[in-house]
Structure 1
Amino acid sequence: MKGFRFGSTQGAFYILPGQDGWEATYGNETLGEFNSPQQAADDLARGVTCPHLSEGDDTSMLEIPEKLADWEIVHV
């Protein structure tokens, strides 16, 4: 099974298979569940609240790519 990883200046974000679809995570925090990995990447790029970021709490400030092709593939 594969997932996706993006290493930002604040740390790694993951989009991984979840219980009923896909989960976006940062550290040990789940940022949401999504129907597809593309939907997760879109939402992270546009801005998801993440209180554990050291600068602000919005992922849109981290230049997270919307295209999954720009994410690293990880095997889980």
Structure 2
Amino acid sequence: MKGFRFGSTQGAFYIMPGQDGWEATYGNETLGEFSCPEQAVDEVARGLSCTHLSEGDTSTLEIPEKLCDWEIVHV
């Protein structure tokens, strides 16, 4: 299986296969469950609440909105 990774200035974000679709994570924090990886990337890029970030929100990190701009990782 494959997943996706984006390394921001604050650390890595992952979009990985989950139990009911795709899961977005940062560190040990789950940011949400999504029906497809494209939806997960879109939501992370627009801004999701993240308690582990100093800004508290992913929208300030210039995360790419297109899945093709994320690194493919194999799980």
TM-score tier (shorter): over 0.9
State the partner residue of 2:65.
Answer: 66
Residue by residue over 1:7-62, the C-alpha shift from the partner in whole angstroms, topping out at 9 and shown as x without a partner, is: 000000000000000000000110000000000000001000001012x1110100
TM-score, length-scaled by structure 2:
0.98
Q: How big is the shift at 1:66? A: 0.8
Matched, 1:18 2:21: no
- Give the gaps of 5 or more residues in structure 2: none
| Identity of matched residues, % | 81
Runs of 4+ residues deviating >6 angstroms? none
1:35-46 equivalences in 2 (<5 Å): 35-46=35-46
Whichever residue aligns with residue 3 of structure 2, its letter is G
- Letter of the 2:43 counterpart: D
Q: TM-score, normalised by structure 1?
A: 0.97
Supply the distance in 2 between the matched residues of 1:36 and 1:57 (Cα, whole angstroms).
24
CA RMSD of aligned residues (A): 0.4
